[in-house]
Amino acid sequence: MDPTAAAPHVPTSAGSAAPPRVLTVAGSDSGGGAGIQADLKAMLALGVHGMSVITAVTAQNSLGVQGYWELPAEAVRAQFRSVVDDIGVQAVKTGMLASIELVETVSELLAGIDAPVVVDPVGVSKHGDALLAAEAVATVRERLLPVATLATPNLHEVAQLTGITVTGEHDMPAAAEAVLALGPRWVLVKGGHLEGEAADLLCGADGERHWYRAPRHDNRHTHGTGCTLASAVAAELAKGAEVPEAVAAAKEYVTGAIRAGFALGAGIGPVDHAWRTR
């Protein structure tokens, strides 16, 4: 060995300062475009440390969801306690919870933490496959939404939760108020399924309102959009942003990810979580 060569860097026992920590409580997507996989990719891209509590395992690809299997509530509770009690969290994001028992379990766990909670009330997949038992919708309304800092329903989920069908932007304020009445502090109604610009409406329990608009990109490869947006908001909250600013930053990030979405398999490909670095 050359004695004049520089010694290799050996980290000190103290290590570097940890980035903000964000926990996702959601299902696994074997195709990698949505669910836990999308959440962790978005968190990494936005500079936070992502951690996970897996609630269900899906067999899923670009064509749809071929099946899913819930984990026992005991396994979900154990994962959550392992992370929160040792590592801690600065924000939590929830996605696919599948059943009444899992919604109840997660709601109870979230009620005991002092960190912002972003609830993506996942009901169906991008392909229209059910990811929440019909009988669990009431439990989402009654138990999960009241512990949410922010809920991020799309228009299908708004209808599922409130019975309101949104046909245009003029319906979105009433839809947001109906979801707010279920208990979250903020609601982001996502208008991505409407015609024209991609417009989302954020409403707070104190009456505050913000519209977020972005050009609509002609790209059908949008798998994982909802998971990615909610995870991006959670990442920004963990970094210290207020809710309106966190949503603005997340909207900008997910718009770029949609623009860069790419084909995989024979169906709908994913958004590109790494679009800023490619």
| Catalytic entry in 33, 123, 224, 269 | 224
| Catalytic entry in 152, 191, 227, 255 | 227
Query: Rounded CA gap, 11 and 133, in Å?
Result: 48
Query: Could you give the 3-state DSSP secondary structure of residue 132?
Result: strand
Active site residue 256: no
| Catalytic entry in 31, 50, 226, 261 | 226
| Catalytic entry in 55, 105, 149, 222 | 222
Closest CA to 238 of 83, 99, 116: 116
Active site residue 251: no
Q: Which helix (H) or strand (E) holds 191?
A: none
Query: Rounded CA gap, 58 and 140, in Å?
Result: 20
Q: Which helix (H) or strand (E) holds 253?
A: helix 243-259
Phi-psi region of 173 (alpha: psi -120 to 50; beta: other; left: phi over 0): alpha
Active site residue 24: no
* 24 and 8 Cβ atoms separated by less than 8 Å: no
Work out whether strand 198-204 and strand 186-190 pair parallel, antiparallel, or are unpaired. antiparallel
Query: Could you give the 3-state DSSP secondary structure of residue 88?
Result: coil
Q: Positive or negative, the Cα torsion across 131, 54, 273, 201?
A: positive
Active site residue 4: no
| Catalytic entry in 95, 190, 191, 251 | 190
| Catalytic entry in 55, 149, 152, 225 | 225
Q: Positive or negative, the Cα torsion across 34, 39, 43, 49?
A: negative
Query: Rounded CA gap, 155 and 160, in Å?
Result: 9
Active site residue 183: no
* 147 and 103 Cβ atoms separated by less than 8 Å: no
Active site residue 207: no
Which residues are tagged catalytic? 190, 222, 224-227
